[in-house]
Structure 1
Amino acid sequence: MPEIFINYRTNDGEHAATTLDNALRARFGDENVYRASRSIAPGDKFDDHLLGNARSSSVLLALIGDRWLGHPRLGIDGDWVTKEILESYRCHRRVIPVLVGRRTERPARNELPDRLMWLADCQTLRYDHQNDESDLKRIGDSLADLVPALAAADRTAAAPPPEEPTAPAGRDTYRTRLDTNNGVVQIGRTHNVNQNGQGANYVAGDQKGNVSHTFGPASPSRATTDE
């Protein structure tokens, strides 16, 4: 079932609904966003479909445009915008009014039908097409913060940083490498212990070549410097 239900009125918030639908599906996946005109398949019983999804979604976005408040059907029994909002509210889902446009104000309690008065007390978000990118991001970020399932599905979440590769040995690389019997230990840029056989030699300084010292029971020790 979808996590986000987009509630809107035709000829008031439908363009904003389409924009939000596209942006939120791109971020959270098609399965997490419900918009009636896209989500109801031919032959489905739209009343059961609408109310069932309003009931089960985690968040209902109630899009409020500049003609939303004065619509004559607002608050009456047969108004689907009202029915979807009330169904979500009765099921203790989060209802977020989204003010569409720069000048749309939050409805006051005395402007709303009695059974929608509580909507005036809900914190709002805003979508203005002139601030399209920032407003869509803010709405998506808010939803991801509120709904764990959306945070898990968020395609814009930062991936964990990759493990840093081991830096190659070089003049400015500090590394230690040890072979128990025959190897090299380098400490810093110019501190080297060269080990071969049963002995070792420590050399400090800026060496262009290798300094080696070999000990063995069958041959005398030998020190060489290669330029």
Structure 2
Amino acid sequence: MHDVFVNYRTGDEESAATVIARELARRFGGERIFFASNSIEPGHRFPVELVKAVEECQVLLAVIGPRWAEVQGPNGRPALEAEQDWTRREIRTALDRGALVIPVLVGRATRIDHAVLPDDLRELADCQYKRFDHRNAESDLTALGDALARLLPELGAVDRDARAARERAEAKSRKTSAEEVERTRMRTRDVRGGIGNLNGPLSGTFVNEPQGPVNTGRGHQYNAPHFEGDNSGVQFTAGDNSGTVHQRFDRERLRSDDER
């Protein structure tokens, strides 16, 4: 089933209709966009397929160029005046069914005046339109596709452009996260030392590669060398002692009775 029917008038803006139909088919899938020259298989009855497609569509795009109301039929009169004019019949059928009809004004085309429309198409003049200009084709086609994706959830679900945008955003997010990790690694790779805790039999606080006096528990804080001992030598040293403790031992001299 085709969700969107692309309607146009031969002799007006067939090329614009072709561009629009091709882009929508690329974005949403050819099976969802009806365009007579592409959607009707060889050997199938043209009138039957047209009527079937317009009766099933949810949206009809009426591609309207500057000459849309002026193109003449076989009798030399504007084709729009003939009740059997296919462009007119397709639009009338969509309006009667309550399908959404969106005029797509091409180039310098202006909004259709009620006065130039036959009675059964007067409603077309009241329908909100979109614009398409070959000089601004990419932007206009994107806007038209975005509008259809919003109006029809079925199209939004198969929107290739939206899916590609999500994939690009996810890839960018992954790249940004990886870059943040790398920057964090670069900032911290040269950091040495620190304070941590151990659990288990050797529980407690440890200091890794301290660069100055530290104290992680009870007791004295030694900010300068500190030595303790008796006359026989040094039994305890603390603080910043980056050299060697040199000790010399002499016998204690006995004093005479006169020195006492």
Output the amino acid matched with 2:166. A
Name the residue aligned to 1:90.
96
TM superposition shift of 1:57: 1.1
Q: TM-score, normalised to structure 1's length? A: 0.75
TM superposition shift of 1:108: 1.2
- Aligned to 1:17, the other structure's residue is in SS state helix
Name the residue aligned to 1:16.
16
TM superposition shift of 1:45: 1.2
Question: Any residues of structure 2 matched to 1:46-61 within 5 Å, and which?
Answer: 46-61=46-61
Q: What CA deviation, in whole Å up to 9, does each residue of 1:167-188 have, x standing for no partner? A: 5884767xxxxxxxxxxxxxxx
- Aligned to 2:2, the other structure's residue is in SS state coil
Output the amino acid matched with 1:193. N
User: Which structure has the highest strand share of the two?
Assistant: 1
Instruction: State the distance in 2 between where 1:148 and 1:129 align.
Output: 28
Name the residue aligned to 2:64.
64
TM superposition shift of 1:26: 1.2
Name the residue aligned to 1:143.
148
Output the amino acid matched with 1:80. W
TM superposition shift of 1:190: 4.0
- Aligned to 2:196, the other structure's residue is in SS state strand
TM superposition shift of 1:156: 1.0
User: Which structure has the highest helix share of the two?
Assistant: 2
Give the direction of change, closer, same or farther, for the CA distance of 1:172–1:122 in structure 2 (3 Å limit): same
The aligned length equals 191
Give the direction of change, closer, same or farther, for the CA distance of 1:21–1:206 in structure 2 (3 Å limit): farther
Instruction: State the distance in 2 between where 1:132 and 1:12 align.
Output: 18
RMSD (Å) for aligned C-alpha atoms:
2.6
Output the amino acid matched with 1:16. A
Residue pair 1:54, 1:87 contacting (<8 A) in 2 also? yes
Name the residue aligned to 2:240.
none
TM superposition shift of 1:200: 2.7
Which runs of no fewer than 5 residues in structure 2 stay unpaired?
A: 72-77, 212-260
Output the amino acid matched with 2:101. V
Instruction: State the distance in 2 between where 1:92 and 1:84 align.
Output: 13
Greater gyration radius? 2
- Aligned to 2:102, the other structure's residue is in SS state strand
Name the residue aligned to 1:77.
83
Question: Any residues of structure 2 matched to 1:212-227 within 5 Å, and which?
Answer: none
- Aligned to 2:79, the other structure's residue is in SS state coil
Instruction: State the distance in 1 between where 2:209 and 2:57 align.
Output: 69
Give the percent of matched residue pairs that are identical in Structure 1 and Structure 2: 41
Residue pair 1:75, 1:115 contacting (<8 A) in 2 also? no
Output the amino acid matched with 2:153. P
Q: TM-score, normalised to structure 2's length? A: 0.66
TM superposition shift of 1:204: 6.0
